[in-house]
Amino acid sequence: MNKPFQFPTLSRRSFLRKTAYGLGAASIAGAGLPMMFGSSQTEQLGIALVGLGNYAKNHLLPGILEAPNCRLAGIVTGTPAKAEEWKAKHNLPDNCIYNYENFDEIANNPDIDVVYVVLPNSMHAEYTIRAAQAGKHIICEKPMSVSVKEAEAMIAAANTAGVTLSIGYRMHFEPHTQEVMRMTRDKTHGEIIFVNANFGFRAGNPNQWRLKKALAGGGAMMDVGIYCIQGTRYATGLEPIAVRGQEFKNDPVKFAEVDETISWQMEFPNGIAANCTTSYGYRIEELHIGAEKGWTNLSPAFSYGPIIGKTHKGPMNIAHTNHQALQMEAMARSIIEGTPHSATGEEGLRDMKIIEAIYKSIAKGGKRIKLG
């Protein structure tokens, strides 16, 4: 069994910066963001974003700015023009701006508490391990790595350094998803029978890193199939015992290096099963949970929202909240308070083991692969 992730008790070294926030932050936060500290002041963690691409700029940055207990404290970029732009826009001092060569000097920067790795997948392990060696807490985007071996090395590096490693599984903090988890825990609709999870989109630019195996590690499965694996696991509350996978290619030229479409089945204990599809060829997005006494459906289920949820009784009627702000606030709170959250490195490792098993099944013509 996987050992539960231990969050170390943290020194209050560098996140003692306080900021006034009150009505303003509460109204930004909206209904879903709780006032965590119950006062007009909060401690803020300094976050450094590594890789200033689409997700960092357009989604994580707004989340950091919205989360009352986070602030943008630094950037790591290989693009000098972005360094200039972010420096001016966010008033960053020169000593908080790094590139990939001098990244390790971040160890000497007490303003930076957390390094958030938002690079192409095959770079996650290296920068996570270097961040751990620099003594910084780490948030790493999904997929955690491109192999089980790398994921294990990342967890070991964080444990050795006594820092926390979190994975950017924003759905763990999203209210519809949390309601799905609650209904499963409480058996609201009786025992789960079957789960369908699908997530795909049309990957446009044929030159993007997502289609290069050396940078992406794999195709749709690594990128968005992982949401379906997550979805089946939190919808059932169980770990799969075996998988079978099948691969389909509509455009073998564009998808010469990585998978375009994969369907797979997951067996869980007690005869519970899941059928999933992920694709870079077409758009699909749904999590459907069939249970003895009814069903739950999220569609869309995994993208930035609004997530739309229904059960056999009607709409879920849960307000949309910025996923990245929820995630950042929860992860920062976990570090500040030394309390656990569920989107850990161990959680990422479990998904990497399942992904590797699905690829292995495909390589063996759809053979059933048991999971340990």
Contact residues toward ligand NDP (CB under 6 A) are: 51-56, 77-79, 82, 118-121, 141-142, 168, 170, 209, 215, 223
Measured distance CA(237)–CA(39) in Å, rounded: 35
Q: Does 142 qualify as catalytic in the annotation?
A: yes
Residue 183 is which amino acid?
A: M
Question: To the nearest whole angstrom, how small is the minimum distance from the Cβ of residue 118 to ligand NDP?
Answer: 5
Question: To the nearest whole angstrom, how small is the minimum distance from the Cβ of residue 122 to ligand NDP?
Answer: 9
Question: To the nearest whole angstrom, how small is the minimum distance from the Cβ of residue 158 to ligand NDP?
Answer: 18
Measured distance CA(260)–CA(278) in Å, rounded: 8
Question: To the nearest whole angstrom, how small is the minimum distance from the Cβ of residue 97 to ligand NDP?
Answer: 11
Kindly tell me the sign of the dihedral angle through the C-alpha atoms of 266, 268, 270, 276: negative
Quick one: angle between helices 148-161 and 345-363, nearest 10? 170
Please identify, using beta-carbon distances, which residue of 42 and 128 lies nearer to ligand NDP: 128
Considering the candidates 21, 116, 136, 142, report the single residue annotated as catalytic: 142
Tokens representing 306 are 């609004």
Please identify, using beta-carbon distances, which residue of 107 and 215 lies nearer to ligand NDP: 215
Query: 299: exposed, middle or buried (C-beta count within 10 Å: 0-12, 13-18, 19+)?
Result: middle
Please identify, using beta-carbon distances, which residue of 82 and 254 lies nearer to ligand NDP: 82
Q: Does 127 qualify as catalytic in the annotation?
A: no
Considering the candidates 98, 169, 227, 234, report the single residue annotated as catalytic: 227
Tokens representing 206 are 């044929």
Measured distance CA(327)–CA(172) in Å, rounded: 8
3-state secondary structure of 203: coil
Going by C-beta distance under 8 Å and a sequence separation of 6 or more, which residues neighbour residue 206?
Answer: 254
Please identify, using beta-carbon distances, which residue of 246 and 303 lies nearer to ligand NDP: 303
Please identify, using beta-carbon distances, which residue of 32 and 168 lies nearer to ligand NDP: 168
Distance of CA 189 to CAs 140, 276, 286, 290, Å?
Answer: 35, 21, 19, 9
The residue sitting closest to ligand NDP, measured at its beta carbon, is 53
Question: To the nearest whole angstrom, how small is the minimum distance from the Cβ of residue 9 to ligand NDP?
Answer: 28
Which residues are the active-site residues? 142, 227
